[in-house]
Chain A
């Protein structure tokens, strides 16, 4: 009886695996197929194409059946700047272990190293994409994975460069462990929902490290964004989680760590904002909880630009920022509680680690700068220090309810 069972099981597993994996087709200089295009033409659904090390000068490779494309020892596909290199229009496609380069630039078409269109269950992993226009362009696709790819280009200006990982009208996509640099936007999301972006590193991009619009219910964990032209921009989205991300060294006159515009119901926790011109720029964003974030040595740690309601800052560290909080109106509907402010000078008589004097994070000078931006040239002059001090002693101009009633005496350690 047990023998019978084993045989039955073997039978089923073998037919099943045969069905899924299909045949294996090999591509190399001395194989039956010397180009990937030939191999794709002969492949049936669920075949595996194994491409061996070498340089393949090909573009417009149509992948229209479910299949696995496996690069052995990182073969190079050189597009010779002719346009899109791999075009995926089928479900269940795996692309693994290729180096794809020289996509070529167009002002009318979105050429990409890998273009995915209306596909489900795709998996693009361990590829190196170099000198791309768009790296991965994924449209109207669902339930896919993009893992451990390295995408780079030599972008210098916004108008003639493309994005690293560009998703449009997608859902349930996992973008994990990718490295993106010298592109226009590292990662770009538009109309993408229920997706996760985690463990990516995006740096030295011309515009944004991460840019997403109209993308609801997404999670962003453990990413690093640094030295990008304008930091990270998050706009017109709802129900977002951003946790344990690092935003640093985004210095420049138009640079942010994180730009929030029209964001509702987000959780921003345990992120680090370090040495950015503006740590977080908040505009028209409501019901956002900022918890346990670290703001170190930014120009402005948090800059409100109006229309922000019911935001809560709870237990964040504000350390050595030129301005902790900048606020542009006299009305305040946001709460600051139990944060640590390095410029807090109050005392704690009952030793409960909470300062006995409320802290006012908005300095008079930041109020003046908001009104008259030119006055920023007086930054770090003695007069401004005196001015801030006198306002601190008796506040007149800054919103009187914008205070942290329970400032912590010690910084939080994460």
Chain B
């Protein structure tokens, strides 16, 4: 598996897209720090971008990779290698190269700007950690879609739809249910609904660490009580981990059964 991972990884980090993605974050980080002139303000702005962008790039890139490397996959399948090894290796290769672009692209400008001496180090770390988790989650989901759909157009459509659902539509439904059931105590519902969506979960995790959490008022206090503690942190990372593992296990299942 390591060989496959290594191959996918090197293949990808040599490709143009990885460079573009890396350069995008690099420029973004530098521009933000140049304009804001403060690490903490930049972390807030960055959060907005990471929450939307990493899932989207993960989805599109994942689907693209699995479709375009199909012939190579078929070649590999002809060799005496375990199927799970091939697909999980490819999956990890894609996710790792994307995460590397993210971590390096943002890490370099922030390091230059004195992140290590800044009090925002933990928040920045949390930001990168959730960005990485989101990448892994959405690449896994898109890998599933690519493996399940022979038709590329359909596959792309589904992948974008899933991203759209989790990034936008889910919040819409969430908001509607909050407004409809406003006569009832909603804190628990809000808590559960947030935890179930990896994008919302990452957003809240980062928000609670920033000054802006004071805006969240009473509901924020309930959230702070849950997520703010170490136990809450562990629970939320556990949820993100589950979100990563389930699609990965699905990749395995599909890979074993799929008829090429």
Contact = CB atoms under 8 A, between A and B. Distances in A.
A379 B179 contact: no
Contacts of B200: 377-378, 381
A371 B194 contact: no
Contacts of B48: 380
User: Chain B interface: which size bin?
Assistant: 35 or more
B218 A386 contact: no
Interface string A297-309: 0011000000000
A375 interface: yes
B57 to A, nearest CB: 14
B52 A372 contact: no
Contacts of A275: 211
Contacts of B187: 374
User: Chain A interface: which size bin?
Assistant: 20 to 34
Q: Interface centre among B174, B204, B215, B220, by most A CB within 10 Å? A: B215
A363 to B, nearest CB: 13
B214 A299 contact: yes
A378 B194 CA distance: 9
Contact of A383 (B171, B212, B216): B171
B207 interface: yes
B214 A380 contact: no
Nearest to B204: A377
Interface string B197-238: 001100110010001101111111101000000000000000
A381 B182 contact: no
A277 interface: yes
A42 to B, nearest CB: 57
B100 interface: no
A20 B169 CA distance: 81
Contacts of B178: 372, 374-375
B47 A380 contact: yes
A331 interface: no
B50 to A, nearest CB: 12
B167 interface: yes
A8 interface: no
A383 B221 contact: no
Contacts of B174: 378
A384 B171 contact: yes
A252 B212 CA distance: 9
A134 B220 CA distance: 34
A310 interface: no
Contacts of B215: 277, 299-300, 322, 376, 379
Interface in B140-169: 167-169
A371 B175 CA distance: 12
B125 interface: no
B8 to A, nearest CB: 30
B172 interface: yes
Given A375-B175, A381-B200, 6 more contacts: A374-B186, A376-B219, A378-B200, A379-B216, A381-B171, A383-B168
10 contacts: A252-B214, A275-B211, A372-B179, A375-B175, A375-B178, A375-B179, A376-B217, A377-B200, A377-B220, A380-B212
